[in-house]
Amino acid sequence: MTGSFPTVAGAIRSALLTAEPKAKAFAARDVARKWRLGRLAWKFDVPMPDTPAWPERPDLLSPARMPRRGRGGSDKGRIALWHALAHIEFVAIDLALDIVGRFGGRLPRAFTDDFLSVAADEAMHFALLDRKLRTLGSHYGALPAHAGLWQAAQETSGDVMARLAIVPMVLEARGLDVTPATLERIRSQGDENGARILQRILDDEIRHVGFGTKHFVALARENGESPQNHWKSLVAKHFRGGIKPPFNDSARLAAGLSRDFYDSIAS
């Protein structure tokens, strides 16, 4: 009977090619809901786009051209912070969708289960952050944003282990390290609503890093490789930035990312 259903790959491709931010967030959550309810066939019958559809705004700039964010306590600084976070979560929607659409057919169904749930989480995070911006008199797209976030997907488009090594196990793990300090700063400014948003994101990101680590370790062991050694070799090949302390070791460990992965290569 599943042949009569739309395919999961077709639904993912459609969401990736949705440009308007709120519509993309809705589409991602809809794909995850239909998959959870058994309304999408587990079939990977269409290719993923090299680049998703994005809105005309924000203007995407190289890191060197990004304006300084300003003081965090000013209205301008607060808006810049929440806008930067919203952009990270917006691109994270596409990263989670793409990893399923590109690699899900080669892996157990649990991989699709896990990363479509990540896509739904990222869409919810984006919605919370866009709403936060609107309470501050702004919106997503009002400021320039970092152009390099999709680069990790392009760099790892041919290797699921490289994608897992870089996106959840480096980039999202870095979020585990930096978010607690941001959360405390927001709370010290009396912004309890903002603190609750960041706490929700932090809690979800521990699970996301955990999914990435779980599938990476399983694939490495299936191939007879040391997960830690193979991760280090992939990071050296595909990640241009350094793995920099300080680390949130407790959150990383909760996600299964123990220090024996990253300690020896930390810069």
Q: Which residue has the tokens 């659409």?
A: 101
- Non-local CB neighbours of 216 within 8 Å, separated by 6+ positions: 161, 164, 165, 169, 227, 231
User: Confidence band (pLDDT; 50, 70, 90) for 1?
Assistant: very low
Q: Number of helices (H) and strands (E) in the chain: give both, helices first.
A: 11, 2
Residues 112-140: what's their mean pLDDT? Answer: 98
> How is the chain split into domains, by residue range?
75-265
Residues 75-265, CATH architecture = Up-down Bundle (1.20)
Q: pLDDT digits over 31-76, tens only?
A: 999 999 999 999 999 999 999 999 999 999 877 777 776 555 688 9
CA atoms of 16 and 19, how far apart (whole Å): 8
Residue 195's Cβ-side half-sphere holds a number of Cα atoms within 13 Å equal to 11
- Non-local CB neighbours of 121 within 8 Å, separated by 6+ positions: 204, 207, 208
Residues 239-249: what's their mean pLDDT? Answer: 91
This prediction has a pTM of: 0.95
Burial environment of residue 224 by CB neighbours within 10 A (0 to 12, 13 to 18, 19 or more): exposed
Q: pLDDT digits over 74-86, tens only?
A: 889 999 999 999 9
Q: What 3-state DSSP class applies to 61?
A: strand
